[in-house]
Amino acid sequence: MMKINKIREMSSPDLEKELGELKTELFKLKFSLATNGLDNPMKIKEVKKDIARINTILTERKIADSKKA
């Protein structure tokens, strides 16, 4: 699970890359759950929350940039 402070310190391109990786991981977890079950089904919830956190920070940055312009 990623901490919000760590996410805020990352650059936007790094966040975009991390977001892609998390979405891939979420797909793999869902696929694994559907086919043979997971050891830890709560992992899906954690990954979804990390994706939401990153999206929130990216949105905040876009809003801040549009206010500067």
- pLDDT value at position 37? 86
Q: Note the pLDDT tens digit of each residue in 1-45.
A: 788 899 999 999 999 999 999 999 999 999 999 998 888 989 999
Contact 29, 38 (CB under 8 A): yes
| Confidence at 68, pLDDT banded by 50, 70, 90 | confident
- pLDDT value at position 1? 79
Residue type at position 59: T
Q: Note the pLDDT tens digit of each residue in 40-63.
A: 989 999 999 999 999 999 999 999
Q: Which domains occur in the chain, in start order?
A: 12-68 (1.10.287)
- pLDDT value at position 47? 96
